[in-house]
Every structure is written in C-alpha cells, then in structure tokens.
Amino acid sequence: MKKEKKSLLSKILLGLTATFFYVPILYIILFSFNSSRSLTKFEGFSLRWYEKMFADSTMMAAVAYTVIIAVLATIISTIVGTLTAIGLSKSRKLIRGMVEQVNNLPILNPEIVTGIGLLMFFSALGVKKGFLTLLLAHVMFCIPYVILSVTPKLRSLDPNLADAALDLGATPMQALWKVIVPQIRPGIISGALIAFTMSFDDFVISYFVTGNGVNNISILVYTMSKRVNPSINALSTLVILLITVALLIVNIIPIIKEKKGRKLT
Amino acid sequence: MKQFRNMAVPYIVWMAAMIVVPMLLIILYAFTNKGNDVATIRFSLENFARFFSDTVFMSVLKRSLYIAIVTTIICILMGYPIAYVIANRSEKSKIFWILLITLPTWINMLVRTYAWMGILQDEGVINGFLGLFGIGPITMIHTTFAVVLGMVYNFIPFMILQIYTALTKMDKSYLEAASDLGANRVQSFLRITLPLSIPGVISGITLVFLPAVSSFFIPKLLGGGQYVLIGNVIETEFLTSGDWNFGSAISLAMAVIIMISMYITKKVDNDPTAKGRGSN
Amino acid sequence: MKKMIALALGAALLLSGCGGGSSTSDAEEKYGSSTLKLYNWGEYMGENLISNFEDEFGVKVIVEYFDSNEMMYTKLQAGDAYDVIVPSDYMIERLIKENMLQKLDLSLVPNISNLAEGVKNLPYDPDNTYSVPYFWGNVGIVYNHNNVDPAEVERLGYGILQDTAYKGRIYVYDSERDSFMMALKALGYSMNTENESEIEEAYQWLLQMNDTMDPAYVTDEVIDGMINGNKDIAVVYSGDAATILDENEDMSFFLPTEGTNLWSDSMVIPANAENPLLAHEFINYVLTHDASYDNSETVGYPSSNQEVLDEMSAPEGVYAENEAYLPRTDYEKDEVFEDNPVLKQKLAELWIKVKASH
C-alpha cells in the first residue's frame, strides 16, 4: 500500500518533469513545419524549412562540425578530466585547492571574457584559426565540467580500496581501471554528458576562436541577426531525430544480440 | 597512492597555458586604461572605482546575484526530488530518464528560449489554455518570472545530473545498517542519504549559479531587455562600447566576489564531511 | 558509449562529405586563388547569391557571419583575414581612419554605375574610394493604425514614445545608437552631437520613457512581435518595417519629420585581404541587376541598385504600396552616423543605465 502510493507519487513527478522538459521541444518541432517565417504564430503546414535546410550547404557543414567537435571534445576532456581529478584527489590540499579554483574560472567567467582571452591568446601565437583552435577551446572549457562532476564521486570513494588492490599485487594501471574507475563511473558519465552539452551549444567562445569558414550550429543561429528563421527549428528537429535514432540503435543492438545468443545455446 | 598524483600534471600545464595566460591578459586590461602602450604602461584602479562607485551598476550586480540565487534554489528544490526518484529506478529506466533530461540541452539555447517566448506570450499556449477556463490572459513574458523560468529550464539538467550521480551507486550497506539499527525511512534519508549527496548538490550549485550570474541571452529575450544583468553589462562593454578595460574589470570583480562566496560554501561543506571519515 | 560515439562520428563524416566543390583551375589562373572569404551579416543575402556566383566564376566562397559591427571589428583587429566584409557607415569610417581597408580599383567594378543616387558618396566615404553600398535605409516608427491614430503619430513623431496612453504597448530598439538618435532628434539636436548638455537631455528623455512607458527593449524579435501584433508601436529599421507591413496589413510606417538616421552597409576590402582581385569581382557581381534583386527580395531591405529599387517599388513590384521600402533621401534633418568611439562608449554606458534603472 505504502509502496504503491510512493510509486504513484514518483510517476506523477516524472510525468511533470517530462512535460516541463518537452513542451518547448514539441513547440520547436511544431514550428519547423510552419508555412510562414514566424517562430511564434503557426499559420499552416509546410516542409519549406526542411527544403531550405537541406539546400543550405553552410548549414549542413555546420551540423557536421558541431557533432565532430562535440564528440572529440567530449572524449578528450572526459579522459583528461577524469585522470586529472584522480590525480588531484591524491595531491596535496594546497595544490588541489588552487587547481580547483582556477578550474572554475571558465565556468564562472562570462563566455565573452573567455572568448576574447582566447582570441588574443591564439592571435598572439599566430595560430591559423579554424577547426584546431575551435577544438582546443572546446576541450579547454569542457574539462572543468568533467573535473567538477568526477570530484564529488572521488570524495565518497574509500581511499583504502586502491591501496588494497596495490597490496594484492595489482599494477597502478590495473588499480586505476579495475578499482577506481568503476566506482566513479556515474560521475564520469555525467561529466561527459555535460561536456557534450556545453560543446554542442556553445556560441560566444566558438565565435571568437574559429575562422576560415568553420562554423557550428550556434554560430549560424546567433548571427542570423536579421531574423531567425524556422529552418533552425528544422535543424533542431533533425538533431533530435538523429540522437533518438542513435540511442535506439545503441539500446536495441544489445537486446538483439542477447536474443541471438540465447537461440544459439 | 602517490603514483596517481602525476596524472594531474599535464592538465596543470595545459591549464596554465589555456586558462591562466588568457586570464592574465584580462587582469592586465582590468588594471590599465585605454590607449596604454606596453612601453608606457600605467596601472590604476580607476576601472574598479568606476564600477563600485556607481549605484546603477551596484543595483545591477545585486539583481544578478538575486536572480542567480533564486534560480539555484529552485533548481535544488525541483532537481533533488527528480534526481532522487530517477536514482531509485531500475538500471535501464535510469539511463532512459537521464538521457531524456539531457536531450533538450542539445537543442540550441536560443531556439529553446524562442520557444519559451512563444509559450509565455499573451496569446501563447499557456494563456490559450487558461482562456479555456475563462482565466487570464496573465502577462508572463518580460517579467522576473519569465527570466527565472528560462534560467531554471536551461540550467536544471546540470543540477539533476550532479545530484543523481551522487545518489546512485551510493553504498547501500549504510542504509541497510541504518534500518537494522531501527532508523525509519525519513531518519535514514536525513542522516545518511542527504549528507552523502551533499557533494553532488555543491557541484550542482556551481554548475547552476556560476553560469546564471553571467548569463545574458535569457534576460535579454525573456526579460524584454529591461532585466539588465551583469552579463549584459559585460557584453556591452566588450562588444558595443569596445571598452575592454572596463569590461575586464567588471568580470574580474565579479569573479573574485563569486570565488570568495564559493570558497565559503566549500568550507561549510567540508566541515561536516571531514570529521568522522578519514581524509587522505 | 563507444558505439554512440562511433555512430555520431560516422554520421558526421557522412554529412561533411556532401557538398564538395568543382574544378577551379581557371579561376586560380585568373585571380591567383579560387576561394573568396566573405564576412557578412547573418541572413543578409539572396538565397542563390553565393551559389550563383560560385557557378558563374568557378570559385568557392567561404562565408562567415557577424551580428554586430563590433564583433566583426574585434575579429578583424585580431588579424583574421577576409576578402570582402560588409560593415555599416560609421564602422567604415573607423576602418578607413585606421588604415584597415584598401582602396578599390573601380575599373574592376564597372557596375558601380548601377548605384542608386541617394546612397552614393555618403560622408563616411565621400567618393566611394573604399566602399560600395550593399543595403541602406532609415529608422522609423511602425504602428498599428487600428489602435493608434495616424494623425497622432504624425503630430507627435518620436514623442509618441512618451505618450502614456500607449504605456506597455511599445517596442524600442535595443541599441544605444538608435535610441539616442531618437531622443536627440525628438529634442531637435543632431544625432552626432558631442555637446554634453544635449546628451544629458537626451538621457533624461530616455529615462522618462523608461520610467513611464514600460517599454520592451528588443532587437530582431521586434519583427515577429509586430507581425503578430503583440504591441502597437515600434521603432524599427525601414527594411524590417517593409517585412512587417508585408505580413501584417494592420501596420503602417512613418518617418518622423524631426529627422532620422540614413544608414548604409557597404562592401569593403580589408587591407590584409588574400584575394583582392576576386573580391572586386564579387563586389561587381553583387551590383548586377539579378544579384541585387535576389538580395532585396529575400531580405526585404532596400537595394543599392537603382534599377532594382525602381522595379521593387513600381506598382507591379514586390514592395508596391509598401511605404517602408523606399528610403527617404535629401531630407535636411536626416543624418548619417559618424564614427566617434569615445561618444559611442559614453552612450552605450548611459543606455545600459537607462535600461537598468527601474
């Protein structure tokens, strides 16, 4: 009885959560089919914004750049950030404190400050702006989020576990991969998710560090200064669709495999 | 355990190059005035004096902190139960819900904010719905409510993720021990679950509060431009006025204020957890 | 997780694979290089402008966008190289002063003869030595003639923005230049004034508007907002006004008799351009009838090409009977913005204070 009540309550909460998160998304999808240019008044069904989007090579290239940069930045920053967080947790308190404070700077600074700082930095070095500078900048502002996500998990970790593994003859690498990493995996995953989000949605910093025609989706959206048009909604719908399909495939493949495996035995 | 220490070294080097050096440039700007040549550089506190002595800027700063604090509190109050419910679901369902919450953040922020503009308008979805019951229209767009709503929508996924991370994989043996010792559910939540999830809440606060203070697109679009926050001022100084010196000074001042307050939060957080558990 | 990444990468590579260029060796011989780097405002070009230019000349155009002159200026200052950029009047004046532009070789731009009379030889570049106009227009008042009496708008001019009968019903353009222009003009001063007391008066004018009218400060949301009829009065660029009038017939446009801003965005070639020859070719191409027509039709802004301007506003044209399309020229109280970084900085700060005070 009590349990039922509780599960009902949690179901209501989850339902409300889903509504809150997805009403705007449904709104975006709806307006991608708007026949007029308006983003707030629906005037009829049309596919013109999809046609426009697919015909726009700049836009399609921007999707590609956004995804590639986000994936690479996420992989690099997750690995580096996790290793750094583990390293820091074993470092002296003074160093740890200082690094954590500096690490917060990119999160704390308005993006325009980070963006202009990096613009001056890259210009002073004479680096050609484009894909590489964009990737470096994204890695730079993603790592702090990973460290921030992994650190609390490390704090609740029993420090004796890894020692025990080492005493039992594990190499440091083994202790790292077999003992520490599994314990902090949720932190790593949420760090990776946040890093991906930050990279995927970044405008200001990206704008100042890129060049030579390398644009991401955000740059296109924000610089549509004259009027944002629903092809952006079409693009967002496409992104949602791509991600959903990718997730479905990732989730379904193991099930199919499992079934096949069962048949064989 | 010292063998792992070195793993932080590459990042510290990288951090020095990519974060500290650009930050030093900003600091240099903050303490100098326009038109200063490297040869005739002259340091001054003029920019800071100009900022702190101006009542308008001070009220903007206060309003920014206020909105960011309100946003953070709402994110905790809403985010904690959501994270708690998700963390107690089955393994598969957990992943599903976490992805469900993260997915909207991959849609461009400006596009999501435009959607909210449409929803909150006087002729928008909500007022249309209320109109069915003869209520309204209630003016929501260009109000504090709209700004806070936009911020909560944008930042709450990070809060949920952090709290969820802290709650999941929590050592269940603590809870079992507690119930063996006769603690009821509320007691064991307050005594065990909550304290153990505090580091996650702190990370969540960092991820919500810091970007909320300096955000400027949301107040601009949902606040109708009247909700000038410190992020808008900094953006104006850099991009419209071209006064990098003053812009740098404001952001530096803000960074220092926030770092100090974060430091205090951390201290508060450290004390209860430090005792009773062996720190390394 | 790994699979997800592999999938995403695969999709990305596939996408980036599409849309390659054609053979471009002819262009390379003629111009030295077959790529043109263009830096323009977002959503500011005809749908086929770039692709047509690429096809006709066998070149590749790399486009980047900005949404404010200052953003563009920041990147230019950092040494980023472009072949053609399209800044506004006062910014061109600054770039000329700072030797960041090269003089045009007008023999390579024969179509300059197509330029509309009113947009030629403006004060920021009196002989079009450095710049060739792209779009131009004014700033005026769009209002809903069902809720606001046209005679009232004509009588009050900018003053209508202080008329509390319309409290909560106005959009004001969120930029220090346009808002101070409005206030200074309303008070009968020059919008380029450096007179302290005149600026102070204008500041007080704006403060009063802010405190009594509950205005919404917007930039481009104003277009959608007025098309939907969310408010009754808005200060907008004439090109945007043309779009609004086109889509909402309740709206009318008025250019205040107190004078307004005659603005223009023009094509220039930066001093560090890597392919100036092709840049000239592009500028010349934009001035052709077809390219100008495509631009003006898509964006809704007045063309710098006289023929297109006439055609669009003719009785059978796209913007026939649209009082916002044709810019007002030769009106003595209209002015062009002058570059004055110190003044601009001051106004920007005052403007933020206006918005923050309530």
Name chain A contacts of C62, Cβ cutoff 8 Å. Answer: 212-213
Residues 49-78 of B with CB under 8 A from C: 56, 59-60
Q: How many residues belong to chain A?
A: 265
CATH topology agreement for domains C31-136+264-313 and C139-261+328-356: yes
Interface contact flag, B125 A153, Cβ < 8 Å: no
The more confidently predicted of residues C44 and B186 is C44
To the question of domain C139-261+328-356 being in CATH 3.30.450.40, the answer is no
Q: What is the secondary structure of B9-61 as a DSSP string?
A: HHHHHHHIIIIIHHHHHHHHHHTS-TT--STT----SHHHHHHHT-HHHHHHH
What's the pLDDT at C266?
96
Please tell me the distance from the alpha carbon of residue A107 to that of residue A149, in angstroms, as a whole number: 13
Interface contact flag, B238 A200, Cβ < 8 Å: no
Contact with chain C for residue B167, Cβ under 8 A: no
Q: Is A105 helix (H, G, I), strand (E, B) or coil?
A: helix
C-beta separation of A15 from B98 below 8 A: no
| Residue B38 pLDDT level (bands cut at 50, 70, 90) | low
What's the pLDDT at B185?
75
Interface contact flag, B117 A40, Cβ < 8 Å: yes
Domain residue ranges of chain C, discontinuous segments joined by +: 31-136+264-313, 139-261+328-356
| Residue A3 pLDDT level (bands cut at 50, 70, 90) | low
Number of Cβ atoms within 10 Å of the Cβ of C106: 16
* Closest partner CB to B239 (pick from C70, C349, C356): C70
Instruction: Examine the pLDDT at C96 and tell me if it is beyond 70.
Output: yes
Instruction: Examine the pLDDT at C9 and tell me if it is beyond 70.
Output: no
Q: Is A28 helix (H, G, I), strand (E, B) or coil?
A: helix
Nearest CA in chain C to A215: C64
Q: In the CATH hierarchy, which fold is given to the domain comprising C31-136+264-313?
A: D-Maltodextrin-Binding Protein; domain 2 (3.40.190)
To the question of domain A56-226 being in CATH 1.10.3720.10, the answer is yes
The more confidently predicted of residues C22 and B141 is B141
Interface contact flag, A104 B214, Cβ < 8 Å: no
Please tell me the distance from the alpha carbon of residue C122 to that of residue C133, in angstroms, as a whole number: 10
The more confidently predicted of residues C211 and A97 is C211
A44-71 pLDDT per residue, tens: 888 888 888 888 888 888 888 998 999 9
Instruction: Examine the pLDDT at B3 and tell me if it is beyond 80.
Output: no
Instruction: Examine the pLDDT at C178 and tell me if it is beyond 60.
Output: yes
Please tell me the distance from the alpha carbon of residue A97 to that of residue C241, in angstroms, as a whole number: 55
Looking only at the bridges linking them, the beta strands covering C84-85 and C35-41 are: parallel
A78-131 pLDDT per residue, tens: 999 999 998 888 888 888 888 888 888 888 888 888 888 888 888 888 888 889
What's the pLDDT at B194?
83
Name chain B contacts of A28, Cβ cutoff 8 Å. Answer: 107, 111-112, 115
Residue with tokens 């495509």: C294
Interface contact flag, A119 C74, Cβ < 8 Å: yes
Written as six digits, the tokens of C125 are 């570049």
Average pLDDT value for residue range B211-221: 86
Average pLDDT value for residue range A234-245: 86
B220-260 pLDDT per residue, tens: 889 887 788 888 899 888 888 888 899 999 989 988 888 88
The answer, yes or no, to whether the previous bond of C327 is cis (omega within 30 of 0) is: no
Interface contact flag, A187 B251, Cβ < 8 Å: no
Share of chain B above pLDDT 70, in %: 89
Name chain C contacts of B238, Cβ cutoff 8 Å. Answer: 74
Residues 21-60 of A with CB under 8 A from B: 21-25, 27-28, 31, 39-40
Domain residue ranges of chain B, discontinuous segments joined by +: 59-271
* Closest partner CB to C216 (pick from B142, B232, B242): B142
Name chain C contacts of A228, Cβ cutoff 8 Å. Answer: 43, 220
Interface contact flag, B6 A87, Cβ < 8 Å: yes
Instruction: Examine the pLDDT at A233 and tell me if it is beyond 70.
Output: yes
* Closest partner CB to A156 (pick from B196, B211, B231): B196
* Closest partner CB to C355 (pick from B122, B225, B238): B225
| Residue B275 pLDDT level (bands cut at 50, 70, 90) | very low
Instruction: Examine the pLDDT at B37 and tell me if it is beyond 70.
Output: no
What's the pLDDT at A157?
76
| Residue B36 pLDDT level (bands cut at 50, 70, 90) | low
**Domain spanning B59-271: CATH superfamily:** MetI-like (1.10.3720.10)
Contact with chain B for residue A230, Cβ under 8 A: no
| Residue C1 pLDDT level (bands cut at 50, 70, 90) | very low
What's the pLDDT at C73?
93
Name chain B contacts of C228, Cβ cutoff 8 Å. Answer: 121, 123
Contact with chain B for residue C358, Cβ under 8 A: yes
Size of interface B-C (CB pairs under 8 A): 61
**Nearest C-alpha of chain C: how many angstroms from A255?**
14
pLDDT mean across residues, chain C: 89
Interface contact flag, B56 C356, Cβ < 8 Å: yes
Q: Which of A26-30, A98-102, B128-132, C20-24 has the lowest mean pLDDT?
A: C20-24
Q: What is the secondary structure of C305-323 as a DSSP string?
A: BHHHHHHHHSTTSTTTT-T
Q: How many residues belong to chain C?
A: 358
